[in-house]
Amino acid sequence: MTAALAEAALASARARMLRDAADQAGRILADARREADAIGAQARRSAEQAVSQARAAGRADAAALAAAERRRGCSDARSVLLGAQREALDELRSRVRAAVGELRSEPGYDQLLDRLAWMARQAAGPDATVTASPAGGVVARSRGVLVDCSLPRLAEVAVDALGGEVRELWTP
């Protein structure tokens, strides 16, 4: 074979090999592009799913936190309300005690004392000892029985007897 024929045969083989290599490179490149596109699409789907799940978890967490905050707010409001009601009731008790204490300076106080002593003795029994209370009113004692008709105690009983009517203090 002459050098020119060998060169032509080699050139033809080289050209075919280059075409085959270029075709193979084109196929590899196309496969790589398809695979990259598929990986990119899967990554986008995974990212969208992660974002969606994070949003849902965030909403659930926010809802739980909001519910806890609402409960805490309601509890705080209830505490404030009950505190205000307690203050109103304490103020009523204080005013009633003061008003009842003023009875000691009223003209009919001696008759009131006599009536309280009679009632206390009736409740404590005939052998009861009835004594004046330093705070006003009387106290009767007998075996195992104490009847407190002192003015402060009677004031407490009067407020307690109001029962549900006391709610009018804080109800519009």
Is the pLDDT at 153 greater than 70? The verdict is yes
One-letter amino acid of 123: A
What is the reported pLDDT for 121?
94
What is the reported pLDDT for 89?
81
Q: What is the pTM of this model?
A: 0.57
Residue-wise pLDDT tens digits, 77-117: 888 878 878 888 888 888 888 888 898 999 999 999 999 99
More confident residue, 72 or 22: 72
One-letter amino acid of 82: L
What is the reported pLDDT for 127?
92
Max distance between CA atoms of the chain, in angstroms, equals 156
Q: What are phi and psi of 123, to 5 degrees?
A: -75, -35
What is the reported pLDDT for 125?
92
Residue 27 structure tokens = 């196929």
What is the reported pLDDT for 1?
65
* Mean pLDDT for the stretch of residues 120-136: 94
128-133 CB contacts, 8 Å cutoff, 24+ apart: none
What is 140-165 written as a DSSP string?
A: EEETTEEEEEEHHHHHHHHHHHTGGG
What is the reported pLDDT for 41?
83
**Strand pairing class (145-150; 129-132):** unpaired
Domain region containing 118: 3-169
Rounded to 5°, the CA angle 27-28-31 comes to 85
Residue-wise pLDDT tens digits, 19-43: 766 677 677 767 777 877 788 888 8
What is the reported pLDDT for 109?
93
Is the pLDDT at 45 greater than 80? The verdict is yes
| Distance separating alpha carbons of residues 137 and 103, to the nearest angstrom | 10
Count structural domains, the chain: 1
